Structure 1
Amino acid sequence: MQRTIRLQLKPSDQEALALSQTIERYTWSFNAVCKYGWDSNLTNGVELHKATYYEHRLETSLPSQLVCAARVKAAEALKSAASLRKKGKIVGCPASNHCPIRYDARSCTVWFDRQELTILALGGRIKLSFEVAQYYRQYLTWKNTSADLMRDRKGRWWLHIVMETDTPKVEPTNQVVGVDLGIATPAVDSNGNKYGSDHWKKVEDRTFELRRRLQSKGTKSAKRHLKKISGKQKRFRKDCDHVLSKCLVQSVESGATLVFEDLTNIRGRAKMRKAQRRRLHAWSFAQFQAFVTYKAERKGVNIEFVDPRYTSQKCNQCGHIERGNRPTQADFRCKKCGFECHADYNASMNIRDDFLKLWAAVNQPIVSADNPG
């Protein structure tokens, strides 16, 4: 189980200059390895090391550990690009303008008790002090495994430290809850609970209208405002996803199972009207499910996924599937048996039942002529 804590560093002007030069040369090494691997169709880390290490040491004057770290990061980026290309995606050579420096235990040492650290840079190690936010103090007893140094757009320096501990072992229970994620209603579970707020939708609508007006102007001032809004909108969505995922995980007991639809490639599969497509493309479901997964891990809640086909069109009572079962976005009315309920609640029950059927099929005993029992 891993968590990332963010420490803001406040180096002096001379130290900031050294860090800036280090990250510039580290970025150059990362991009050069990526270009070599891309042109040579090579993703193997050992072969990339043999082909680039000595040249990059001479070119950048970086410590050997940072040259190796840049090569490892480049190899990961190349493998990711190759994997996407095999799936038919259009990808180009990986590149970065400001590649965060990855540190390990040999190149970065942190003392949380006295709030000091040393990190490797051009010319040797730099000693810096920091303060730990109150929320992060719960993770200080965990083991720190790696760290990434980065500089944001405002020129502030941050060290993101990955903390690790053993995942708690919790016995699974019989509680299974299906969760239907939606655009109008963020989430509805099979217990009939609704999650989210109408305020979120209103904020998104106001932001959309403001962006449209600014884009139509096209002035420099409007573009600066659009850039500012973009960051604000991302932070707002992230906060909403944190609130929603926390509520969902807290709604069940340890050992329970939360079941979601597998929404991979949903944007390419879904057929919607123009107004709905805008909300679909703004929907951060992947980020939300990632938040649910890591929050559930700590509590011992299992996360499962099922095929999303027909969960919204199938009647949970009689199993009849028909698009006409949903006369409106919010209502479900079965054409066969007349069952009526909220459409998202019906879908969440189907998600739960689909998982239970799948689980029963996988875990049923094998019956043969020689061993009928």
Structure 2
Amino acid sequence: MDRTVRIQLQPNMEQAQALHETLAQFTVAYNHVCASGWQHGEKNGVKLHHATYYETKALCSGLVSDLLIQARVKATETLRSAFTWKAKKEAAYPKKVARAEKQGKPIPVFKPVRCPRSEQCAVRYNIHTYSLNWATQTIRVSTTQGKMSIPFTVPHFSEQYRGCKVATADLLSHNGKWWLHVVVEVPEPTVPQNETVVGIDLGLNRPAVTSQRRFLGSRHWKEIDRRRFRLRRKLQSKGSKSAKRHLKKMSRKQMLFHRDCDHVLSKRIVQHVPPGATIVLENLTNIREGVRHRKGEGQRKLHSWSFAQLYSFIAYKAQEQGIPVERIDPRHTSQTCSQCGYQARNNRRSQSVFHCRSCGYQLHADLNAAYNIRDKFCLAQDGRSVLSGSPSDGLSSQASA
């Protein structure tokens, strides 16, 4: 399995200048390939290479051929994503127009997807353009001034990856500091698998509830978000230059805060699952398209919910412990009784209370959903579908039994 180690470089003045020039020329090559591919509607890497290689070589004479190729590879990846997003937006716009006309609202303005462009594209290195020595803590990288040996430091939380085999690496600069994100290869853990299955219900009010009856996450996280939202609203209404600078700083702080919360939550989830067990989550892809929230706190929370990032954190932390992570269809997990299997929308009396209309079973709604997620996966392993049929199929009771 692959892991990314973020190491800090310690270049001198001359080396820092060479790194700046390398980063600038790599960005020029990347933007040139993106512009050419966007203009001609081309996303094939081989065709882009033949069409742009000699032009980028003339524009960025200081870069070795391998770095020019890596710039083209990164541009190709970006173009494929941009073309996919463009087609998706163009296909969705007529539906938005039809919905607005049906509701008597003004027709939304179409915002086209623009050509990808980067102000500072991270330089991608491979085994031909850099080498890393863990013993001496130096790295030798290709620059516009030739190859240079630069010392680096490893953070304490990444010491476990010291000495691992390295793959690619990305060079970037932030706030005057130079960082190298090195991809290392870590051996898979040998953990015997067992039949334990832990269902986890992720939500906005309760960040995570497990079928082990654990309610994870801190309540003060929501209050911090509310406080920052009130401050952001005041700054936006003010509109001064200092307010805009403050908003820019707040945006980064908010992103880092949410990332830290997801790291803490994913770590707690994995810590409470025995090695070799299976974690089951709901597949929340496209959840924002299927949910209709009125403007307000509910809509704001839904669109700022980083569930995809949380899933990726859980997946890689669980992989290190030998815990597989699976996803299931989330339909009806909140409406079905985990005791008798009766399905009805009004089973959920409130956000936190689940009270079955059929058998009278009552418990916390998110805990009931976690039970259903676990049971649904167990029955799917046996080849039976569950929680997606008629409201009274009673299949969930088989898993509870």
Shorter-normalised TM range:
over 0.9
Select 2:331's aligned residue among 288, 309, 314.
309
Supply the distance in 2 between the matched residues of 1:189 and 1:105 (Cα, whole angstroms): 43
Equivalent residue for 1:35? 35
Q: CA deviation at 1:141?
A: 2.4
Equivalent residue for 1:369? none
Q: Which moved more, 1:292-301 or 1:206-215?
A: 206-215
Counting aligned pairs with the same residue, the percent is 47
Equivalent residue for 1:200? 221
Any conservation in 1 of the 2:134–2:163 contact (CA below 8 Å)? no
1:332 is aligned to 2:354: yes
Supply the distance in 1 between the matched residues of 2:280 and 2:232 (Cα, whole angstroms): 35
Q: Deviations over 1:87-123 (max 9, x none)?
A: 4566432221110000011111111111111111112
Q: Deviations over 1:267-287 (max 9, x none)?
A: 111233432111111211111
Supply the distance in 2 between the matched residues of 1:224 and 1:54 (Cα, whole angstroms): 41
Q: Deviations over 1:331-364 (max 9, x none)?
A: 111122211000000011111111111111079x
Q: Give secondary structure in 1 for the equivalent of 2:153.
A: coil
Q: How does 1:1-373 map to 2 (within 5 A)?
A: 1-61=1-61, 62-88=63-89, 91-152=113-174, 154-273=175-294, 274-361=296-383
Could you tell me which runs of 5 or more consecutive residues in structure 2 were left unpaired when the two chains were aligned. 91-111, 386-401
Question: Structure 1 residues 224, 63: CA separation in 2 closer, same or farther (over 3 Å shift)?
Answer: same
Q: Which moved more, 1:12-21 or 1:324-333?
A: 12-21
Q: CA deviation at 1:170?
A: 3.0
Question: What TM-score, normalized by structure 1, do the two folds share?
Answer: 0.93
Q: Give secondary structure in 2 for the equivalent of 1:317.
A: coil
Question: Structure 1 residues 350, 282: CA separation in 2 closer, same or farther (over 3 Å shift)?
Answer: same
Counterpart code for 2:224: V
Q: Give secondary structure in 2 for the equivalent of 1:211.
A: helix
Could you tell me which runs of 5 or more consecutive residues in structure 1 were left unpaired when the two chains were aligned. 364-373
Q: CA deviation at 1:242?
A: 0.8
Q: CA deviation at 1:39?
A: 2.0
Any conservation in 1 of the 2:166–2:183 contact (CA below 8 Å)? yes
Supply the distance in 2 between the matched residues of 1:320 and 1:272 (Cα, whole angstroms): 27
Q: Give secondary structure in 2 for the equivalent of 1:321.
A: coil
Any conservation in 1 of the 2:30–2:75 contact (CA below 8 Å)? yes
Deviating beyond 3 angstroms after TM superposition, the runs of 4 or more aligned structure 1 residues are: 82-92
Q: Give secondary structure in 1 for the equivalent of 2:327.
A: strand
Q: CA deviation at 1:236?
A: 1.3
Counterpart code for 1:224: R
Q: Give secondary structure in 1 for the equivalent of 2:25.
A: helix
Q: Give secondary structure in 2 for the equivalent of 1:130.
A: strand
Residues paired across the two proteins, number:
362
Any conservation in 1 of the 2:137–2:153 contact (CA below 8 Å)? yes
Question: Structure 1 residues 248, 86: CA separation in 2 closer, same or farther (over 3 Å shift)?
Answer: same
Q: CA deviation at 1:59?
A: 1.7
Any conservation in 1 of the 2:161–2:186 contact (CA below 8 Å)? no
Supply the distance in 1 between the matched residues of 2:172 and 2:130 (Cα, whole angstroms): 14
Question: What TM-score, normalized by structure 2, do the two folds share?
Answer: 0.87
Q: CA deviation at 1:313?
A: 1.2
Counterpart code for 1:70: A
Supply the distance in 2 between the matched residues of 1:306 and 1:136 (Cα, whole angstroms): 33
Q: Give secondary structure in 1 for the equivalent of 2:189.
A: coil
Root-mean-square deviation over aligned CA pairs = 1.7
Supply the distance in 2 between the matched residues of 1:17 and 1:256 (Cα, whole angstroms): 51
Supply the distance in 2 between the matched residues of 1:355 and 1:225 (Cα, whole angstroms): 46
Supply the distance in 1 between the matched residues of 2:89 and 2:381 (Cα, whole angstroms): 32
